[in-house]
Chains A and B, each alone.
Chain A
Amino acid sequence: MNVQEVLNWLNDFATLITDNKDYLSDLDTSIGDGDHGNNMLRGVIAMQQQLTEKQPTTIGDIFKVTAMALMSNVGGASGPLYGSAFMAMSKKANESEVLADLILAGANGIQARGKAELNEKTMIDIWFAVANALQVKQLTQRVIDDAIAATKNLQATKGRASYLGERSIGHLDPGTVSSGYLFTAMMNNLQGELA
């Protein structure tokens, strides 16, 4: 994994968020406050600007710039959560550039910030699913899609969606869908790290 591959990964993530902004907000309208698409778009635009301006030269620094940009610009709970993920990945990247280690560090970062447990219909479900699959070299698009689909039948007990109780069942979790774009973009750019 080199700096250019990681930059390509994050740029593709930004493109997927941009292309699916309305879909993400629609998902959030069902169980949240309807702004996840716009929030994430604002975050990834700031991320791309700052990565271009600051020209980070290590993977750790790329993740740090990304963390700060998302944290300051997303605005909703996803800001601190994605920010904590990338900050944890930035710290981890200084000791290991193994992708499975980085994503696991990110998952732990989100969990420490949001204090969610697995199966509460939050983004940690997909982060740990992807981290586990990477560990055993079995990450495929199917793993990502299944992790997203699995949130549909869960009842949210954390975050805004938890106010809906049982009515949260039957809807995809927007943060899991946006995380899915991050991992799809990752697979497309870091094929060499998966096998």
Chain B
Amino acid sequence: MISLILVSHSKMITDGLKQMIDGMANNSNVNAISAGGIANGDFGTNPITIYDAIMTELQSEKILIFTDIGSAVLSAETAIDMLESELQNKVHLVDAPLVEGAFITAVQITDLSCLNDVIAEVEAI
């Protein structure tokens, strides 16, 4: 299993993207988690929400984080810093557009053997 953690300033965006991946990518090797927004529905990103999402996916072989802009990246980096160092190896912050990057990854990932190729492809978008 590969986990995709979706981070945007808007929870509606990551909820929608998760729906799209669940409904259209049709890939049982992938689990997408919506981790956008902050408490009470305001816009923003929250390192603790991202950290908690990572902690629910520890059984996965790899955890990929996709972000939109600015503080989403800072918040994801903060969440990764909070992990034990052996867990950090399991997590990768993908430098790709949130929607296209996460969706293409969800379609193309079959197992760990193709992971690096897929990441290279979406990071080149």
Contacts and interface: CB of A to CB of B under 8 A. Distances in A.
Grouping DSSP codes into helix (H, G, I), strand (E, B) and loop, the A interface class, with mixed when no group exceeds half, is helix
B38 A72 contact: yes
Contacts of B48: 68, 71-72
B77 A113 contact: yes
A40 to B, nearest CB: 12
Closest CB pairs A-B (n = 8): A75-B44, A77-B71, A80-B78, A80-B74, A72-B48, A75-B38, A76-B71, A72-B46
A39 B44 contact: yes
A72 B43 CA distance: 12
Given A77-B71, A113-B77, A83 B39 contact: no
Nearest to A71: B47
A165 interface: no
A72 B47 contact: yes
14 contacts: A71-B46, A72-B49, A73-B39, A73-B46, A75-B38, A75-B42, A75-B43, A75-B46, A78-B71, A79-B45, A80-B47, A80-B78, A83-B78, A114-B74
A84 interface: yes
